[in-house]
Amino acid sequence: GQNIDQPTEMTATEGAIVQINCTYQTSGFNGLFWYQQHAGEAPTFLSYNVLDGLEEKGRFSSFLSRSKGYSYLLLKELQMKDSASYLCAVRDSNYQLIWGAGTKLIIKP
Amino acid sequence: IAGITQAPTSQILAAGRRMTLRCTQDMRHNAMYWYRQDLGLGLRLIHYSNTAGTTGKGEVPDGYSVSRANTDDFPLTLASAVPSQTSVYFCASSGGDATDTQYFGPGTRLTVL
């Protein structure tokens, strides 16, 4: 079966750095996405990786290792507004997105 | 309109009733999707449409139907609602960029009693 694993919940301090991991086992691979979802709102797109390596976008970076079936989202200089769930999704061989259950990130002052 | 809209925002429905959730996008995206999101679970695909006139089944299609008469609209119908269909429903679309990223509507919170 297909599976996306990410931690259920993480806590970090304002101003710090946090890394959210995602491991996947899917039938085929056509890219990995990270989305942010604030409580009661829709998921919004953060980043996309299809090749191995690091993609940097402001305070957020995303890393991919296809051989290890592994990705992480790195958030720097954490702000209170970063409190949200972070969703990892992999596009499989049928070109459909398989979603993880999400990681709830709690930021403390 | 800018992006994707969904209606209604929320709804309480008696079991056995028929309900249509509406989704409209103005981005001229070819593909559209319906997901449900339940606590502790990832987004699960109900139905999708790769282009106007075509539809396909996702992971959890039973009890739901869709149609895609034109590019902009992708309604989801529950023919006879059951309590297990209580969920938050998100419509999404893609096709506007090289990565085929999906963009989501604001969601419909549905409660079936």
Consecutive 10-residue runs of chain B (113 residues): their mean pLDDT? 90 97 96 95 95 96 97 97 98 88 97 98
pLDDT at B99: 86
pLDDT at B1: 52
CA-to-CA separations, A38 to A1, B62, B66, B70, in angstroms, rounded? 29, 29, 28, 31
pLDDT digits (tens, 9 = 90+) for A25-47: 999 999 999 999 999 999 999 99
pLDDT at B42: 86
- Put simply, whether A102 touches B (Cβ < 8 Å) is yes
Nearest to B103 among A45, A50, A101 (CB): A45
A41:B106 CB<8 A: yes
B95 CB neighbours in chain A (<8 A) are: none
- Put simply, whether B58 touches A (Cβ < 8 Å) is yes
B104 CB neighbours in chain A (<8 A) are: 42-44
pLDDT at B58: 95
Q: How many CB atoms lie within 10 A of CB B30?
A: 15
The amino acid present at A103, given as its one-letter code, is: T
Those residues whose C-beta lies under 8 Å from the C-beta of residue B22, and which sit 6 or more positions away, are B6, B7, B8, B73, B75
Report, in this order, helix, strand and coil percent for chain A, each rounded to 5.
Answer: 5, 55, 40
Consecutive 10-residue runs of chain A (109 residues): their mean pLDDT? 93 98 95 97 97 96 97 98 98 93 97
The answer to whether B26 touches B1, Cβ cutoff 8 Å, is yes
